[in-house]
Amino acid sequence: MLNYQTVISGKDLLTNEPAPYGYEPIVDGFRIKLDGTFDAPTAIASVSLNDTKLYLSGVRWVNENYIFTDFTYFGYTDGTVAASLGPAGYVDGAGGTTDVELLQEDYEIRWTGVLGNEVINGLNLEVTTSGGSFVTIVGASGYSIADHPLNPNPGVAEPFAIKVPFEVWNIDENQQVNVLMWDRTGNPTVEGGKIWNTDNRVYVWVVNTDYSPDVLDPLSDAVTNYGTWNWVMYQSTFTTGDVIKISYANPILLTDKLTFTTDYLSDVSNSDILPNKYELYQNYPNPFNPSTKIGYSIQKEGLVNITIYNILGQKVREVVNQFVKPGKYEATFNGANLASGVYIYRIKTNDFVKSKKMMLLK
């Protein structure tokens, strides 16, 4: 069944790779050719927390700590930036992308931040004291951002960057991306206020460009061309190290506009779709507490060893030590019994050796 799916046996039918691996990928000895148009996804397909799927209630994804949705909750048929940032009146004239390939990509919200209290302008406020990332706040409902205690230009209601306790990552591209934020129910202008409201509604819009801590102009071409999805976080009482994964339905719909052509190739097998190189990916979340995932790709069958070292080069843990076949894999490392700090993880297989750094933050 191809409804809402473009990935078959590990190959994406909508990839931009040249044929036969992209536009005409080979799956189980068949070359698949798609001829027609594709409809973009309009809403979230699933949300999970640390690999456990949240419960779907209407169009809201919920558990005891998170309530997550998009503007479809308010009657919109579309959860994109294009349908909400400007049209909903939050930033007049703002737009977003309608590019199908961008809209089928998935994201993770990695809660890497630590919250604490600081006195700012005479107010005791809850802020992100470490970790996290910078987002651009474009407005608020209960107050004017001109009065926000972190506004670098007090009295001026223009967007500026603030630090929040999470990072947003594009899973498909393995890169951190940017976020616009509207403070819907918070009020950091009063004693005890929160810069990021974990208890109630905050709106964010994802902009699928390489992360920068600088202010992002909501009317820029970057937002118009790469603004993808709107999210509504009704509750986010996170634990540092939490990972929220947001998946979108891939956009192949069985309609009269779409036709399928298959040719059986007896001399071609699934080996044609396996990784063509070795790779060790950056762990996520990072920083982490206490566990993180380490992804890697194997080109040829062999013994794979992944070992963790402390900053002094001393071995602390062996995560993987086994023969594996070609493919993409993911290992979990739990540092519950280790001290906070920087660690090195190294993969060694056949003639491939590579190391990366990660940070355990308790």
Three-state SS across 3-64?
CCCCEECCEECCCCCCCCCCCCCEECCEEEEEEECCCCCCCEEEEEECCEECEEECCEEECC
| Closest of 43, 235, 204, 42 to residue 133, by C-alpha | 204
CA distance 169 to 110: 8
The closest of 171, 157, 143 to 229, measured between CA atoms, is: 171
Its pTM stands at 0.64
| Alpha-carbon gap, residue 270 to 127, rounded angstroms | 50
Q: Taking residues 117-128, what's their average pLDDT? A: 95
Helix, strand, or coil here: 102? Answer: helix
- Inside any domain, residue 114: yes
Task: Print the domain residue range for 17.
Answer: 7-39+251-270
Q: Is the pLDDT of residue 7 over 70?
A: no
Same domain, 222 and 261: no
Q: Is a pLDDT exceeding 60 seen at residue 150? A: yes
How large is the average pLDDT for residues 54-66?
Answer: 93
Domain count, the chain: 3
Residue 315 pLDDT > 90: yes
Residues 53, 14: one domain?
no
Residue 316 located in a structural domain:
yes
Average pLDDT over residues 293-304: 91
User: 54 and 31, same structural domain?
Assistant: no
In a domain? residue 86: yes
The secondary element (H helix, E strand) that includes residue 100 is: helix 100-103
**pLDDT confidence of 325, banded at 50, 70, 90?**
confident
Burial of 55-76, coded b for 16+ CB within 10 Å and e otherwise, reads eeeebbbbeeebbbbbbbeeeb
Among 38-52, 96-110, 230-244, 257-271, where is mean pLDDT lowest? 257-271
Range 335-354 average pLDDT: 92
If pLDDT is split at 50, 70 and 90, which confidence band does 33 have? Answer: low
